[in-house]
């Protein structure tokens, strides 16, 4: 489990990071808003612990930006402000939980664990990108209501893309997250991308699975790209 901690008070950041590492989590640390947001976009995390008051970019703003880009990573906001209004503002911009400073590390840990547990199929039973729909409860995929037959590996790959819609995903990230094997040949990833395209885009004239030259791939639905 990889966590991102965005907290500008060095002592507090150090104490939290150390405690979480002792619990076996990998912790990336950022000390200002801009750096935190950059890390959140660059690297996939299982949870983000976000201080509300940060130099550079405010915690609520970061939260809002991430959600706008469809990054659904659970977010726990830490704040010195003990106001109900602030709490509501945090939850309104897409935070999942809120913890007031000062707090006991044990409480933070309990909340982190609870959020990570809750995460599993957070998107419900359906994932969708325009005409493409994946039903997770019965492992079936439909495009324009026509069922697409996928192998297990193709299904897992497509599921990952649907969960990260609009994000550019590198081949290495796919190797690590879908194959769970960073040593797999990146050519294999390309081959599977080709298989998927032959099944979901080619027959329908859609361009959902896009190549971002030199970076990776991106699944994105653009309504203006709808086929005839």
Give contact residues for Ca ion (rule: CB under 5 A): 8, 51, 53
Write the burial class of residue 147 (CB in 10 Å: 0-12 exposed, 13-18 middle, 19+ buried). exposed
**CB-nearer residue toward Ca ion: 53 or 109:** 53
Two tokens, residue 150: 């996928």
Q: What is the biggest distance separating any 2 CA atoms in the chain, rounded to whole angstroms?
A: 59
Reading phi first (left if > 0) and then psi (alpha if -120 to 50, else beta), residue 158 is in: alpha
Two tokens, residue 12: 């507090």
CB of 191 to Ca ion, least distance (A): 47
**CB-nearer residue toward Ca ion: 56 or 94:** 56
**CB-nearer residue toward Ca ion: 93 or 219:** 93
CB of 157 to Ca ion, least distance (A): 40
**CB-nearer residue toward Ca ion: 16 or 162:** 16
CB of 55 to Ca ion, least distance (A): 8
* Angle formed by the axes of helices 105-118 and 10-22, nearest 10°: 60
**CB-nearer residue toward Ca ion: 6 or 209:** 6
CA-based nearest residue to 17, from 71, 9, 118: 9
CA-based nearest residue to 156, from 119, 198, 185, 127: 127
Give the count of beta carbons closer than 10 Å to the beta carbon of residue 212.
12
**CB-nearer residue toward Ca ion: 7 or 96:** 7
Distances (CA, A) of 181 to 47, 184, 185: 22, 6, 9
CB of 178 to Ca ion, least distance (A): 36
Residue carrying the six token digits 């299904």: 155
Query: Coil, strand, or helix at residue 32?
Result: coil
CB of 54 to Ca ion, least distance (A): 6
CB of 7 to Ca ion, least distance (A): 7
Residue nearest to Ca ion (CB): 53
């Amino acid at each position: 489990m990889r966590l991102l901690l965005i907290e500008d008070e060095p002592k507090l950041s150090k104490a939290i990071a150390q405690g979480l590492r002792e619990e076996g989590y990998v912790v990336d640390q950022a000390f200002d808003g801009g750096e935190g947001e950059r890390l959140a976009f660059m690297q996939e995390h299982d949870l983000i612990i976000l201080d509300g008051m940060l130099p550079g970019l405010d915690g609520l703003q970061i939260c809002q930006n991430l959600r706008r880009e469809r990054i659904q990573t659970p977010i726990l906001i830490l704040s010195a402000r003990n106001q109900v209004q602030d709490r509501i503002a945090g939850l309104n911009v897409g935070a999942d939980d809120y913890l007031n400073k000062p707090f006991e590390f044990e409480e933070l840990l309990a909340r982190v664990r609870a959020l990570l547990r809750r995460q599993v199929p957070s998107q419900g039973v359906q994932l969708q990108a325009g005409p493409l729909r994946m039903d997770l409860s019965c492992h079936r995929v439909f495009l324009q209501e026509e069922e697409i037959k996928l192998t297990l590996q193709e299904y897992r790959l497509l599921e990952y893309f649907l969960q990260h819609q609009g994000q550019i995903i590198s081949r290495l990230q796919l190797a690590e997250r879908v194959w769970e094997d960073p040593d797999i040949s990146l050519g294999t990833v390309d081959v599977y991308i080709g298989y998927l395209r032959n099944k979901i885009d080619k027959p329908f004239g859609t361009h959902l699975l896009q190549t971002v030259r030199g970076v990776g791939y991106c699944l994105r639905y653009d309504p203006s790209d709808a086929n005839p």
